[in-house]
């Protein structure tokens, strides 16, 4: 396994992050345990989850599965840097959501209980909460850090100016502030190249992209005969709208002799500013294939062809649209 610094911290995390959103939702608990065990065998030490995962099977269910896996012992908890998220509504209670100090404290303690841990390595705000002042947010986070319940704080789905504002106010309070950000990023969606990637570099944040396979659209959606992806009408509808691009991508993958998903993951692993993309394997075999992508290097010609099929903004802001 290859490792990288978690932003401007002294922590080293694996170059692939194990995403757990499928656990208890798309995947049964026993297989989830097998995937987590295999991840440790590969040297993956960064697991990502969220308090809302489990969804219609029960919000918090994924964290409970992780907790039962940790409870087996064998050094599982000690080997994992566990990151979870808060923000989403957990109940119908009006304050059981968002980034208020009230919810931050309650959400962290609830996640600790579900995961059977005495601290969370990194708590992430799942979305910007425009109603919560940053002094309130940071006061709550500072208290949790002082209590030893949280080590680091990250963001997810923040705009660049949200990240800058958050860290400037944290600096005024002599607090470390955000050390990582999770944004949607793939060949299909390259918006963060405009401002989010540059601001992460400027403030020393790790970038932990989610959905690097475009939600399944980059996995050979028009080439497979039977898959979970093909049974998702919304994804098929989205793919049909850009069928020429998808078909050109699939043909390129066949031309270079690589699996569709492997090309998408190898591409994001080679992007400047990316620290550790989140993978969400549903099987141990998928996990093994994801890890093998660390050994794939796409050549300049292939990268150019991918840019032609899936053009990004071409530069960061404002050069991408001005001068």
**If you search the block for the tokens 């208290």, which residue do you land on?**
143
321 catalytic per annotation: no
Q: Which phi and psi angles does 121 have, rounded to 5°? A: -65, -40
**Cross-strand pairs, 47:** 18, 82
Torsion of the alpha carbons at 311, 314, 315 and 317, rounded to the nearest 10: -80
* Secondary structure of the chain as H, E, C letters: CCEEECCCCCCEEECCEEECCCECCCECHHHHHHHHHHHHHHCCCEEECCCCCCHHHCCCHHHHHHHHHHCCCCCHHHHCEEEEEECCCCCCCCCCCCCCHHHHHHHHHHHHHHHCCCCEEEEEECCCCCCCCHHHHHHHHHHHHHCCCEEEEEEECCCHHHHHHHHHHHHHCCCCCEEEEECECCCCCCHHHCCHHHHHHHHCCEECCECCCHHHCCCCCCCCCCCCHHHCHHHHHHHHHCHHHHHHHHHHHHHHCCCHHHHHHHHHHCCCCCCCCEECCCCHHHHHHHHHHHHCCCCHHHHHHHHHHCCCCCCCCCCCCCC
From 25, 53, 203, 249, active-site residue? 53
Contact call for residues 293 and 14 (beta carbons, < 8 A): no
Catalytic residues: 53
């Amino acid at each position: 396994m290859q490792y990288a610094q978690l932003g401007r911290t002294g922590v080293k995390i694996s170059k692939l992050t194990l995403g757990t959103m499928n656990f208890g939702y798309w995947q049964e608990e026993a297989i989830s345990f097998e995937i987590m065990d295999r991840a440790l065998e590969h040297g993956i030490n960064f697991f990502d989850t969220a308090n809302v995962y489990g969804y219609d099977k029960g919000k918090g269910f994924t964290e409970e599965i992780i907790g039962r896996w940790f409870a087996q012992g064998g050094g599982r908890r000690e080997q994992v840097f566990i990151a979870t998220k808060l923000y989403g509504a957990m109940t119908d209670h009006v304050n059981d959501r968002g980034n208020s100090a009230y919810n931050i404290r309650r959400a962290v303690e609830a996640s600790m209980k579900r995961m059977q841990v005495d601290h969370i390595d990194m708590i992430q705000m799942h979305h910007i909460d425009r109603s919560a002042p940053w002094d309130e947010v940071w006061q709550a986070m500072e208290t949790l850090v002082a209590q030893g319940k949280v080590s680091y704080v990250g963001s997810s789905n923040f705009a660049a100016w949200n990240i800058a504002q958050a860290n400037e106010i944290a600096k005024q309070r002599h607090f470390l502030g955000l050390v990582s950000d999770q944004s949607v990023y793939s060949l299909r969606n390259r918006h963060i190249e405009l401002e989010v990637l540059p601001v992460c570099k400027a403030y020393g944040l790790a970038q932990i992209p989610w959905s690097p396979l475009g939600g399944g659209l980059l996995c050979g959606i028009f080439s497979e005969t039977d898959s979970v992806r093909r049974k998702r009408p919304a994804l098929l509808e989205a793919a049909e709208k850009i069928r020429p691009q998808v078909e050109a991508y699939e043909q390129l993958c066949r031309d270079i002799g690589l699996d569709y998903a492997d090309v998408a993951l190898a591409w994001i692993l080679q992007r400047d500013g990316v620290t550790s993309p989140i993978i969400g394997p549903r099987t141990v075999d998928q996990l093994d294939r994801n890890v093998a992508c660390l050994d794939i290097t796409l050549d300049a010609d292939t990268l150019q062809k991918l840019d032609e099929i899936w053009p990004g903004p071409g530069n960061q802001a404002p050069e991408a649209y001005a001068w």
